[in-house]
Structure 1
């Protein structure tokens, strides 16, 4: 559970008792909460240019592979007519 804390002059942390949404200091979170925050940030971040290019080329390549395969299958089927 997240907790609002402040940093003391001697380097220790002290809880403030404030709500996390109104915290004026630092928010201390557990490891599982931090992992969830990281997962959400990763899921909704914009892809890098290399990733976007890879998805575009992969989708275009799949369409081309299926098109060429269907042309070949169509040529074989037309021989039996």
Structure 2
């Protein structure tokens, strides 16, 4: 089992409720492997008091080659996101 945890500061940049956590190439650089369906990514807001947005989910956008964090509404400020990435093998 591989388990990695960390924290990233993200910005919505007017996207309307999501921010890119990693592009596929950034994921490969960070974890030494390509993203695949066997990877589980979890995320949560790391600074609740500083920013009233809540992380609702993580989505993979294959056409955009990226992994996004979804918020419960448009986020107009930077937001700290705590994340965990895991896979078997």
State the TM-score bracket (shorter-chain normalisation): under 0.3
Q: Which has the higher helix share?
A: 1
TM-score (norm 2): 0.18
Which of these two proteins has the greater Rg computed from alpha carbons? 1
TM-score (norm 1): 0.19
Q: Which has the higher strand share?
A: 2
